[in-house]
Amino acid sequence: MIKTINRAGRREFMLAAGALAGASFFPKPARAQSAKIKLGLMLPYSGTFAQLGTAIENGLRLALDQGGGKLGGREVEFFKVDDESDPSKATDNANRLITRDKVDVLIGSVHSGVAMGMVKVARESGTLTLIPNAGADAATGPLCSSNVFRTSFSNWQPVHPLGKVMAGKGHKKAVFITWKYAAGEESLASFKEGFTAAGGEVVKELFLPFPNVEFQALLTEIAAIKPDAVACFFAGGGAVKFVKDYAAAGLKDKIPLYGSGFLTEGVLAAQGEAAEGLMTTLHYADSLDLPRNKSFRSAYAKTYKAEADVYSVQGYDTGLLLIQALGQVKGDVGNIKAVVTAMESAVIDSPRGQWKMSKAHNPVQDIYLRRVEKGDNKVIGVAWKALEDPARGCKLG
């Protein structure tokens, strides 16, 4: 039925029907080109990922400030919701930003489950949507959409090289431990794929509900299994507690711990000695020897009196992408088709190294092998050059 009505008619239909009120796949109702561009931030500002949400917003604001504070010549206005990393509130939160605040661009989120709710709304409404963290594979896989772009990673990406790294260190039997939700499960699947292909075996998969941090029973189980190594996905507050508990249980010196690099991002000061020596794979590292990284880190530290991390880089790159694309369309954010074309061909000169969008709208990027040394994520090498998510099931491009 929707297919049979024209663009303007479709909008009226939706408003009249009360279904997804205000959702418009196509140009917003004529707003003067001089009006502010509205950015809707749907990020966690509370809970275990609170710090991650703030880092993303900080990075985004830094990029915009450095770009003169405007997008395509237009002032910018922010609208924010705390998504609480709660998937059950995701659709309502996204709809609120779109229908109540009438944002031009939806930006979020951190949590994969929340992102899935957002992507659903983005696909139905046609709102231009940028994902500055959440790795949910489907967002740039079976549920990919021309109006949805990711500036971070897919869950498949950072851990894909980790199996090969661990097998290369002689580890044959590994335990994987994580939270039972999309990001944990997809990280495990990707790790298993890489580790098995390299001759390893995942002998046990251990889960706890998100965002629980009662690790004791599972650590006791790991001690009993005595694998060659442990791999994991944890992030934010949960990652602090896991790394400290792992060391406190006496496992750190007996069974080497690895992870996707989120394990040690933005949390090294809190983890302290317990994190020293941990090896992880990720699309960023503090110590990347790139002029762009150095200037970014010093500007970030000066502005926010905090160390930059992968989350702030992803926020920053979201800003760079907006600056580039909206500059190209001279601020005409309502011309989604032109904005999409601009984003598809953007080259992002990022602190993580230069990257471009894949056909499925996910960064094609280097994955670094890092080791924690004296409270820093030091780069040891490139674990995988220009890694592209397989985008299984995506029909774009």
Show contacts with ligand PHB in window 272-291 (CB under 6 A).
Answer: none
Q: Which is nearer to ligand PHB, 124 or 309 (CB)?
A: 309
Q: Which is nearer to ligand PHB, 104 or 137 (CB)?
A: 137
Report which residue's Cβ sits closest to ligand PHB: 235
**Residue of 159, 365, 375 whose CA lies nearest to 262:** 159
Binder of ligand PHB out of 37, 55, 134, 222 (CB under 6 A): 134
Q: Which is nearer to ligand PHB, 111 or 160 (CB)?
A: 111
Binding segment for ligand PHB among 131-139, 140-148, 270-278, 341-349 (CB under 6 A)?
131-139
Check binding of 110 to ligand PHB (CB under 6 A). Answer: yes
Q: Which is nearer to ligand PHB, 239 or 326 (CB)?
A: 239
Q: Which is nearer to ligand PHB, 153 or 195 (CB)?
A: 153
Q: Which is nearer to ligand PHB, 183 or 372 (CB)?
A: 183
Q: Which is nearer to ligand PHB, 90 or 134 (CB)?
A: 134
Binding segment for ligand PHB among 22-30, 132-140, 159-167, 212-220 (CB under 6 A)?
132-140
What is the token pair recorded at 301?
Answer: 């530290």
What is the token pair recorded at 392?
Answer: 């299984």
Binding segment for ligand PHB among 15-23, 26-34, 104-112, 387-395 (CB under 6 A)?
104-112
247, 273 Cβ separation under 8 angstroms? yes
Shortest Cβ 310–ligand PHB spacing (Å): 8
Q: Which is nearer to ligand PHB, 311 or 355 (CB)?
A: 311
Shortest Cβ 112–ligand PHB spacing (Å): 4
Number of residues binding to ligand PHB, judged by CB under 6 A: 11
Q: Which is nearer to ligand PHB, 22 or 390 (CB)?
A: 390
CA 65 – CA 63 distance, rounded (Å):
6
41, 81 Cβ separation under 8 angstroms? yes
In order of 41, 67, 344, the CA distances from 336 in angstroms are: 19, 22, 12
Check binding of 235 to ligand PHB (CB under 6 A). Answer: yes
CA angle 157, 161, 162 (to 5 degrees): 110
Check binding of 112 to ligand PHB (CB under 6 A). Answer: yes
Binding segment for ligand PHB among 24-32, 64-72, 127-135, 200-208 (CB under 6 A)?
127-135
Binding segment for ligand PHB among 16-24, 110-118, 195-203, 314-322 (CB under 6 A)?
110-118
Binder of ligand PHB out of 111, 241, 244, 361 (CB under 6 A): 111
Q: Which is nearer to ligand PHB, 24 or 85 (CB)?
A: 85
Shortest Cβ 26–ligand PHB spacing (Å): 30
CA 227 – CA 229 distance, rounded (Å):
5
Show contacts with ligand PHB in window 166-185 (CB under 6 A).
Answer: 183
Shortest Cβ 49–ligand PHB spacing (Å): 6
Show contacts with ligand PHB in window 313-372 (CB under 6 A).
Answer: none
Binding site for ligand PHB (CB under 6 A): 110-112, 133-136, 155, 183, 235, 262
